[in-house]
Amino acid sequence: MTDGAGTGTGALVRPLPVRGVLKLGGGSDTWFKAALSAVVASAIPNLTLLAFGRLDLALYTSAGSLVALYAHGRPYAARARTLARLALLMLASLAIALTTAALTEDVAIRVAVAALLAAGHKLVSDASRIGPPGNVIFTFVASSCAFVPQRLADVPLHVGLGLAGAVISWLVCMAPALVRPDGPERLAVARALEATARLRRATPPAADAADADSAGTDSAAARARHDAATAINAAWHTLFLLPAGAAERRVPLERLVVRAESVLGGASAPQGRLLAWAAALRSGRPVPVPAGTDAAETGELAGIADERRARAASRPQGTRAVLAALRRGSPLLPVATRVGVSAAAAGWLTMLLGVGRPYWAVVTAAAIFQANLVLTWRRALQRVLGNLLGLALFTALLPVIGIGPFALVLVALAAQFGAEAGMSRNYWLGSVFVTPMALSMVEFAGYQPARELVGDRWLDTCVGAAVGLLGCVLITNRRASGRIDGALARLSAAVAETHAVTRAAPGTVAALRDRVTAALVDLRDAVDVAEGEWWQRALPAERVERAERDGHRALATLTAAAPADREAA
């Protein structure tokens, strides 16, 4: 292994993995929240339209109903704002797609518009970090509606139906606040405590976070450390979203995050105690108060949290984050370009192959794109297999769908629930149910021959996945390795400042600890992304390993210097 000015080991062209692509995971701990919310938000308008004999309009209300899949990890005040913004994005996409469908019957133009929307959805979702299911839902709705027969005079009504679905989604997603108003922030802190407990389990009892061997060479411990840092970062960002007047709810949770953070920095804490605190938070019991807590520490924590919140507010968010992603040199631009070019190429190719409504090829090409080529390859394999099995499932369900409109609605709702249940375990399993759900929603607008529908979707899937992969190979993200250099520089600068913190104020110590933790997370994410690109200069493996060791040593130093952590656990 060599080290120098940005060099290291590794082949320029890296093989694409197959092993483990279809392995099922344990699943998300909150998948049922998004699943139930989406099912309820869809069932209300669908059954209402069915009662009035206008199920053909359900495709438009479904555009708003699908907003219910988002923002379940955010505190309710922030969730309300986020859902409103996502609804506006969905409705704007719906309006553009329907207007395009009304103004032209040229399939090539419709594909071009759908591809441009797909690129925009990818850029906005990545820049604003809206979380799963990301850009795919917006692209599916816009692409499918761009190929629905449409009259210009009907566009306002259909967008209004989408707005009605979005309002229902907003109400459904906000309803749990009546029962557990602090549920999302409790869950975020519980995850941080559980990740810290896993770190203690992965780290030998005699190991210290400042020990070079334990911090850098044990891959299991290094991954557990990264996961803990990521969960702690996520917990802080969740707490930052709470209203300024929610101090009574916020401060006890912040105290627990500080305890988890101190363990990340090297303080000792029984694994059982961390898990017990997490269990109390998940169950709705009173927030645990760690031993040694006093009024002075509470005051320190309040001041530290206020400083952290002010720094978080100064970072680009919302519209500012999207505008920043459009600047020259943004690492998000190559990914959005890949999506737009590949989606257009996939749609045009399937059009030439005789598919009259090639929206599924556009959606497939957009859906498989991930942060790098390796992840995109995995997603493409999962998508193709999942769609093939999904088409088989849809074919098997055709006799049930043929019973009548009510059966069609039930199939769509059941598939929607199954998609969320399967998606958290592996993308291919979720895709098995996404396919019949999507085809059922398209059937709302009008019957299509089953053979033609299934055949076109299978052709769209294969072409979309192949063209998407080709686009990912041809449009390389050479900025990925440059992001590592920036992350190394930020981590080095943060570590350098820790040498003078032994007598610093609590707010200064916390600020430095935030910078070091964030820089460690950013560095590991940058490395993971760059490692998956097929055409990159060799990565600075030794520099990264050394920087991560120095970063964890710095966290241990900051933990020892922080008065608020004097009784870590």
Residue 463's identity, in one-letter code, is: V
% of the chain residues with pLDDT over 90: 29
Cβ-contact 156, 37 below 8 angstroms: no
More confidently predicted of 340 and 335: 340
Mean pLDDT of the chain: 79
Q: Which amino acid, one-letter code, is at 111?
A: V
Residue among 44, 36, 34 at smallest CA distance from 79: 34
pLDDT of residue 62: 93
Whether 127 has a pLDDT exceeding 80, the answer reads: yes
% residues pLDDT > 70 (the chain): 73
Q: Which of 218-222, 249-253, 369-373, 527-531 has the highest mean pLDDT?
A: 249-253
DSSP codes, 78-145: HHHHHHHHHHHHHHHHHHHHHHHHHH---HHHHHHHHHHHHHHHHHHHHHHT--TTTTHHHHHHHHHH
The burial of 32, by beta-carbon neighbours within 10 Å (0-12 exposed, 13-18 middle, 19 or more buried), is given as: middle
Q: Is the pLDDT of residue 263 over 50?
A: yes
Lookup result for tokens 């009173």:
286
Q: Model-level pTM?
A: 0.80
Determine the Cα–Cα distance for residues 164 and 523; give it in Å rounded to an integer: 43
Q: Which of 505, 507, 520 is nearest to 556 (CA)?
A: 520
Tens digit of pLDDT for each residue in 66-91?
999 999 989 999 999 999 999 999 99
User: What pLDDT does residue 213 have?
Assistant: 43
Taking only the tens place, the pLDDT of each residue in 525-568 is 666 666 555 555 566 667 777 777 777 777 666 665 554 444 44
